Amino acid sequence: MQHFIEKKLQKAFAQYGRDLEVDPLTEEEHHALYQTIMAEKKANESCEWFEVIEDTVYDYITNKM
């Protein structure tokens, strides 16, 4: 599951112009994003994974997280 989330995170960040291969997240950022994604998915099981990941990345980019 973690590999799946990693790939989706890379795609989501690429939409905002950030290449995680060139400019990776810190361990703390990565951990916080992963925990938020898992908590949101658990709270909203009917939501698709991509929706949860996209929303989480958007919140991160706009400093809502």
Give the pLDDT confidence of 45-55 residue by residue, as tens digits.
Answer: 999 999 999 99
pLDDT tens readout for residues 31-50? 999 999 999 999 999 999 99
Nearest CA to 55 among 46, 2, 42, 40? Answer: 40
Question: In this predicted structure, what is the pLDDT of residue 58?
Answer: 97
Residue 16 inside a domain? The answer is no
Q: Is residue 63 part of a domain?
A: yes
* Residue 28 tokens, joined: 């703390």
Q: CB-based burial of residue 12 (10 Å sphere; 0-12 exposed, 13-18 middle, 19+ buried)? A: buried
Residue 59 covered by a domain: yes
pLDDT at 54: 97
How many domains in the chain? 1
User: Using CA of residue 12, residue 17, residue 19, residue 24, what is the dihedral sign?
Assistant: negative
Question: What is the domain extent for residue 55?
Answer: 25-65
Can you tell me the distance from the alpha carbon of 16 to that of 11, in angstroms, rounded to the nearest whole number?
A: 9
Look at residue 5 and tell me if it is in a domain: no
